[in-house]
Amino acid sequence: MSVLVFIDTNEGHVKKASLEAMTYGAKVAEQLGIAAEGVVVGTAKDDLAALGKYGVKKIHHVNNPALDHLDAQVFTKAIAEVATKTGAKVIVFSNNVDGKSIAPRLSARLKAALVSGAVALPDTSNGFIVKKNVFSGKAFANISLNTDVKIISLNPNAYQTIAGEGTAEVVIADVTIDTPKVKVTAVNKVSGEVPLTEAEIVVSAGRGLKGPENWKIVEDLAHALHAALACSRPVADAHWRPHNEHVGQTGTAIAPTLYIAIGISGAIQHLAGVNRSKVIVVINKDPEAPFFKAADYGIVGDAFEIVPKMTEAVKKIKG
Amino acid sequence: MKILVCISKTPDTTAKIAFTDNNTKFDTSGVQWIINPYDEWYSLVRAIELKEADASTVIHLITVGTADAEPIIRKALALGGDEAIRVNTANADSFYIASQIAEVAKQGGYDLVFTGKETIDYNGSSIGGMVAELLELPYISLATKFELGGNKATVTREIEGGEEVCEVNLPAVVSCQKGVAEQRIPNMRGIMAARTKPLKVVEPSAADTLTAVASFELPPPKAGVKLISPDNVEELVRLLKEEAKVI
Ligand SMILES: Cc1cc2nc3c(=O)[nH]c(=O)nc-3n(C[C@H](O)[C@H](O)[C@H](O)COP(=O)(O)OP(=O)(O)OC[C@H]3O[C@@H](n4cnc5c(N)ncnc54)[C@H](O)[C@@H]3O)c2cc1C
Ligand SMILES: Nc1ncnc2c1ncn2[C@@H]1O[C@H](COP(=O)(O)O)[C@@H](O)[C@H]1O
């Protein structure tokens, strides 16, 4: 019996979200008194044995370059076979783009109850109940998983990675690999930047910046903090910023440890995408801006004066 | 080309979130219901555009829900689509809903099943993938662009830190998000036409439920904002480092 963690890679490197998933999976395994194992699909460039420090004892590697790009159908079949062979009781995914593609398929294939967007460890005192985000971060639901095999898709940044000691045994998984039907013809990366959904710190700006030509101060602050950039919807709609930076109800939902909102009013639809952030800082010249109600720290003032000062202060404190 | 568009009903984005029955049920009093934005703005509009480009395209809408979902599905029909199907059952869980959609899809012989990225109430992001698995079809999730060329779809999808372009032969299931299309407002002609479009009610097929909501809870209220003077930006940075420990 095992807790099986899907270890997600990006160009062969293990994603940060998967380190969280492994740490979480190891903890679930401990709760259940069984071992945590992992499954990697596609070419891996990292040392998989070293992932043992996140608590996985054994890694099943479906080592086939045909699977370097996601085809959820083919991945699902391979992972399902590993899960069955290892007698997986709980299968853990990160609720990132790949997790959202594969976990539901696996749920239907194995008829295993799925909770997506989990934010805490299962409560096993009476059944198997997992807390998840609902209503776009405005509430939680405690979901009872009522099947023998269970799937948990963990929200990125919801569980802290802990690195300990240990190495994992790496085995090549002997599973069926179908020919992918989804053929990836181009990959367009926003190079050199921190992916928004994985970022610990996000610097975001809204219509208060007046125009795209003013974004330099926002970029400088983000750069000083090693942060990802985000924006409000009207900013993306007006093509001031690329669409992939749009956060909120209809854009990307994020949960960084620090979210800095500059010149954003804090409409409920915007908050829906960012209210899971651990700490929120709001810079807005209007003391009545609704965002202050959701903020931990705030400065009432002109972004054009405050943001450059903040960048300087960050540079100073970081040395 | 025959397209099935999945339509769900969700509370308006500004609805007050509260719970009743000892926090086991969503309090629907005073709630305005809307078409889930991802279904309305992106997947439905893209399907309509495909029909505008090729008039032989047939669009069916499906919703799994009780009779109170009818105003929503009629509103969707006012935007476009040829007919609607309502599977007459309360929403039990994602797997149950997906099973209902898959059953209808199997019988309808669709080339393409569109879902939204997620429902804004349950935030499952699950039903598209489940439907695809039940139908044994390829699944492309989180599409930001969708183009058709004969029997082949070219889909751009989100990946961490960018996007990738992929090709798939139909039939397939695709979940749509921002970028796939632009929001449309139904016009008078559409609203009139929707009244006479067929809305078929079918009874649910037997299916399992795998999960149940044990309870809901609201997040603890925020402690309140700590305001820092605009003349003292350094103090804010110090607090972020020493008090909040986030930088
Ligand atoms: C169904 C639906 C879904 C939506 N989804 C989203 C979504 O996903 N994401 C999203 O962001 N929005 C979404 N919206 C739109 C949302 O309701 C707001 O209209 C939007 O978030 C406002 O963007 P903003 O704060 O940048 O602009 P505004 O509301 O115009 O606010 C600008 C702010 O900047 C401040 N400001 C101006 N000048 C300065 C200055 N010099 N220094 C400091 N502050 C300044 C102003 O005081 C103001 O608070 C959605 C709306 C609907 C109806
Ligand atoms: N009751 C329903 N009836 C029809 N389609 C649905 C229903 N619930 C969800 N969907 C579709 O599945 C998508 C994803 O929903 P979810 O998995 O709940 O986030 C939605 O955007 C809809 O397109």
What distance in Å separates the CA atoms of residue A28 and residue B71, rounded to the nearest whole number? 44
Which residues partner with B187 through β-bridges? none
Instruction: State chain A's mean pLDDT as an integer.
Output: 95
Task: Indicate whether A66 and A101 sit together in one domain.
Answer: yes
| CA closest to B24 among chain A residues | A141
Q: What is the pLDDT of residue B223?
A: 86
A182 domain residue, yes or no = no
* Residue B55 in contact with partner chain A when CB distance is under 8 A: no
In this prediction the pTM is 0.94
Which residues partner with A39 through β-bridges? A6, A60
Are B226 and A272 a contacting pair at CB < 8 A? Answer: no
Task: Indicate whether A118 and A200 sit together in one domain.
Answer: no
Report whether pLDDT(A81) > 80. Answer: yes
Task: Indicate whether A43 and A109 sit together in one domain.
Answer: yes
Task: Indicate whether A18 and A127 sit together in one domain.
Answer: yes
Are A139 and B218 a contacting pair at CB < 8 A? Answer: yes
Q: What is the pLDDT of residue B26?
A: 96
A41 domain residue, yes or no = yes
Task: Indicate whether A117 and A213 sit together in one domain.
Answer: no
Output the residue whose Cα is nearest ligand 1's atom 49. Answer: A265
Q: What is the pLDDT of residue A192?
A: 57
Number of domains in chain A: 2
First to last CA, chain B: 53
Which residues partner with A62 through β-bridges? A41
Task: Indicate whether A22 and A153 sit together in one domain.
Answer: yes
**Cβ-Cβ contacts under 8 Å, A258 against chain B:** 240, 244, 246-247
Instruction: Tell me the DSSP string of A188-202.
Output: EE-TTSPPGGG-SEE
Chosen domain end from A140, A172, A204: A172
Ligand 1 centre to CA of A253 (Å) is 16
Question: Any idea of the CA torsion for A215, A219, A220, A224, to the nearest 10 degrees?
Answer: 160
Number of neighbouring beta carbons within 10 Å of residue A213: 8
- Residues contacting B188, CB < 8 A, separation 6+: none
CATH label of the domain that carries residue A93 = 3.40.50.620
Are B125 and A246 a contacting pair at CB < 8 A? Answer: no
A70 domain residue, yes or no = yes
pLDDT per residue of chain B (247 residues) written in tens, 0 to 9: 999 999 999 999 889 999 999 999 999 999 999 999 999 999 999 999 999 999 999 999 999 999 999 999 999 999 999 999 999 999 999 999 999 999 999 999 999 999 999 999 999 999 999 999 999 999 999 999 999 999 999 999 999 888 999 999 999 999 999 999 999 999 999 999 999 999 999 999 999 999 999 999 999 888 899 999 999 999 999 999 999 999 9
Task: Indicate whether A165 and A17 sit together in one domain.
Answer: yes
Nearest to A184 among B37, B166, B244 (CB): B166
What distance in Å separates the CA atoms of residue A233 and residue A229, rounded to the nearest whole number? 13
Three-state secondary structure call for residue A167: coil
CATH label of the domain that carries residue A227 = 3.40.50.1220
Q: What are phi and psi of A52, to 5 degrees?
A: -55, -25
| CA closest to B125 among chain A residues | A100
Task: Indicate whether A37 and A144 sit together in one domain.
Answer: yes
Ligand 1 centre to CA of A241 (Å) is 14
A190 domain residue, yes or no = no
Are B210 and A111 a contacting pair at CB < 8 A? Answer: yes
Nearest to B211 among A15, A146, A251 (CB): A146
Are B159 and A225 a contacting pair at CB < 8 A? Answer: no
A45 domain residue, yes or no = yes
Task: Indicate the top mutation candidate among B12, B13, B117 to test ligand 1's pocket, ranked by most ligand atoms within 8 A of CB.
Answer: B13
Task: Indicate whether A7 and A136 sit together in one domain.
Answer: yes
Percent of chain B beyond pLDDT 70? 100
Report whether pLDDT(A284) > 60. Answer: yes
| CA closest to A198 among chain B residues | B160
Amino acid at B139: Y
Number of neighbouring beta carbons within 10 Å of residue B6: 28
Are A244 and B228 a contacting pair at CB < 8 A? Answer: no
Q: What is the pLDDT of residue B161?
A: 81
Percent of chain A beyond pLDDT 70? 99
Are A279 and B246 a contacting pair at CB < 8 A? Answer: yes
Closest CA to A155 of A131, A138, A139: A131
Average pLDDT over residues A191-195: 68
> What strands, in cross-sheet order, belong to the sheet with A228-231?
A228-231, A201-205, A258-262, A279-284, A297-300, B226-227
Task: Indicate whether A11 and A140 sit together in one domain.
Answer: yes
What distance in Å separates the CA atoms of residue B125 and residue B146, rounded to the nearest whole number? 18
A109 domain residue, yes or no = yes
Output the residue whose Cα is nearest ligand 2's atom 4. Answer: B63
Ligand 2 centre to CA of A92 (Å) is 22
Range of the domain at B210: 2-220
Check if the beta carbon of residue B12 is closer than 8 Å to that of residue B68: no
Closest CA to B232 of A257, A206, A260, A298: A298
Check if the beta carbon of residue A188 is closer than 8 Å to that of residue B159: no
CATH label of the domain that carries residue B67 = 3.40.50.620
- Alpha helices of B19-155 — where are they, by DSSP H? 37, 45-53, 70-79, 94-108, 127-135
- Using the atom order of ligand 2, give the atom closest to the CA of residue A104: 17
B237 domain residue, yes or no = no
Give residue-wise pLDDT tens across range A67-76: 999 999 999 9
Check if the beta carbon of residue B64 is closer than 8 Å to that of residue B93: no
| CA closest to B99 among chain A residues | A108
Give residue-wise pLDDT tens across range A123-146: 999 999 999 999 988 999 999 999
Instruction: Give the residue from A296, A302, A305 with the most B CB atoms within 10 Å of its CB, the best one to mutate.
Output: A296
Q: Which tokens go with A301? A: 């003032």
Q: What are phi and psi of A254, to 5 degrees?
A: -130, 165
Number of neighbouring beta carbons within 10 Å of residue B242: 10
What distance in Å separates the CA atoms of residue A127 and residue A106, rounded to the nearest whole number? 22
Task: Indicate whether A252 and A141 sit together in one domain.
Answer: no
A242 domain residue, yes or no = yes
Ligand 2 centre to CA of A35 (Å) is 35
Q: What is the pLDDT of residue A191?
A: 58
Helix (H) or strand (E) holding B4: strand B2-6
Range of the domain at A121: 2-172
Give residue-wise pLDDT tens across range A242-264: 988 999 988 888 999 999 999 99
> Pairing mode, if any, of strands B19-20 and B25-26?
antiparallel
B246 domain residue, yes or no = no
What distance in Å separates the CA atoms of residue A103 and residue A93, rounded to the nearest whole number? 7
Number of neighbouring beta carbons within 10 Å of residue B106: 12
Nearest to B214 among A15, A142, A292 (CB): A142
Nearest-ligand number for the alpha carbon of A207: 1
Q: What are phi and psi of A129, to 5 degrees?
A: -120, 130
Output the residue whose Cα is nearest ligand 2's atom 7. Answer: B8
CA distances, A223 to each of A192, A199, A310, B214 (Å): 11, 12, 12, 44
Nearest-ligand number for the alpha carbon of B102: 2
Number of domains in chain B: 1
Are B141 and A72 a contacting pair at CB < 8 A? Answer: yes
Task: Indicate whether A207 and A152 sit together in one domain.
Answer: no
**Cβ-Cβ contacts under 8 Å, B225 against chain A:** 282, 292-293, 295-298
Quote the ipTM score: 0.94
